[in-house]
Amino acid sequence: MEEEYIKLIFGLKLKQIRTKRKLSLFGLSKLSGLSKSYLNEIEKGKKYPKTDKIALLAEKLEVPYDSMVSLKLDKNLAPVGELLKSKVLKELPLDLFGIKESDLIDIVANAPTKVNAFIGTIIEIAKHYNFGKENFYLASLRSFQEASNNFFPELEEAVLNFSKAYQIKLKKTVSSIELEEILVEEYGYTINNDVLTKYKELDKLRSIFVPKTKTLLVAHHIDEAQRAFIYAKEIGYNYLNIEERLYTFTWIKFNNFDQVLNNFYASYFAGALVIPRESIKKNIDSFLSKPKFDKTFLAGIKNNYNASPESLYQRLTNILPNDYQLENLFFLRLSHKGGSNHFEITKELHLTHQHSPHGNETNEKYCRRWVAIRVLQDIAKSSDEHLMDVQISHYPNDGLSYLIFSSATADPFKKDEYRSVSLGLLINTELKKKVKFLDDPSIKTYDVGVTCERCAISDCEVRQSAPTVLKRQQQYLKTEAVVDELQKKFS
């Protein structure tokens, strides 16, 4: 264990023993002859006493010396000890949020019992929802993106500098061929398109990078847009001088948070390279200024940028908040297996706050009035490669409405599976100013909920489950109202 954690554990034990003896710091100071300020620093984990001082404290507090120096904590503080021993504080991306590790240690030292209860609660929640380390890292990354409005000017600048240095014409479609040439000639890569096909276990992977030989193994069945993104991401790792990285795409596991963050940086670089900021802004200007909704817009610019619908939608989450002040938005990716009735949110991002449509980890049924689900149902019955739709979703429960665009495609790596990506913009004064086609009658409005179990819409023709959670909440409110009435009546 690190020395600072050993100090903290000793301080926690000393404070706990002193408190059980109903001694104040002043009282322990008089009893032991040690200064109050010195004892205070010990309890806060800032100092570790020498052997003779520990022996003196053990004698005066009437506890065995070995018990004083043991790193074992009693039941009340055991979770805090486990937290410190696990070094999880070292894994937390505290610096991203301007927090020092010492700040958390001070909190633990000052209120160990309350912190212990909090830690225990988090652990129980994590177990209940099967919330592993990777989930925690991804949640931390989302918080980082949201705190930055998902726009990173240093990465935008890096793309511009790279394109100038390597003469990439950003006004033209960036092809995988020119990116492959840079990987091979500049970074010494070897590209192999055959090996992955020999292993069934790797069917879902798009690429593997072997650092020792700088070999990039690429799945042969990916399309041009996917190949361009993979190459752009590898260039990002190299151009940004990233060493702590993931070697598979898609990821299998994360060993630490740096890998998660660097994977995001390289992906952001790739998105900004294949969908340049200045070019996409011209398309957005044209799109938003039209009095009628142009359904061909997203399909059209997808072809211009050699990018998948998901890359395009994610790129819009960078540009719209920063350049158009449309900060209240969300991104969702759903997956669906054809013929099943199951829909799963596999990725989400919420800017400024968590919006009404969001992931739910309790196996509740997502509202079938979502456009994200409708396009998935439609493409499963269609021979089309890409389906796109739009709607205004109104949430009666909170009185909010969203303009939502959604695109669905077949999953190229999973047979009979489909995915949809959606971009939702909160309808407020700012959106009404920017979007000229918002009143286009061709855009239908739907009353929607988050899940059937929490939805108050009584005449829903596609309801999958009774509003059990909502009814339980309403019953609690009725019970509470009667209790309040009786309190007033008999007080």
Q: What is the pLDDT of residue 165?
A: 96
Question: What's the confidence (pLDDT) of residue 404?
Answer: 96
CA distances to 92, 118, 141, 207, 363 from 133, in Å: 10, 18, 12, 23, 21
- What's the pLDDT at 89? 63
402 CB contacts (<8 Å, ≥6 apart)? 330, 355, 356, 357, 392, 393, 395, 424, 425, 426, 427
Residue-wise pLDDT for 269-307, tens only, equals 999 999 999 999 999 999 999 999 987 777 677 677 889
Amino acid in position 202: L
Residue with token string 């396009």: 375
Mean pLDDT of the chain: 87
- pLDDT at residue 385, rounded to an integer: 84
| Max Cα distance, the chain (Å) | 86
C-alpha–C-alpha distance, residues 28 and 57, integer Å: 9
pLDDT digits (tens, 9 = 90+) for 423-479: 999 999 999 999 999 999 999 999 999 999 989 888 899 999 999 988 998 999 999
Q: Residue 12 carries which side chain, given as an amino acid letter?
A: L
Question: What is the full DSSP assignment across 152-191?
Answer: -HHHHHHHHHHHHHTT--TTSPPPHHHHHHHHHHTT--EE
Range scoring the smallest mean pLDDT among 33-47, 66-80, 437-451: 66-80
**Res 109 pLDDT > 70:** no
Cis, peptide link before residue 250, omega less than 30° from 0: yes
Better pLDDT: 264 or 131: 264
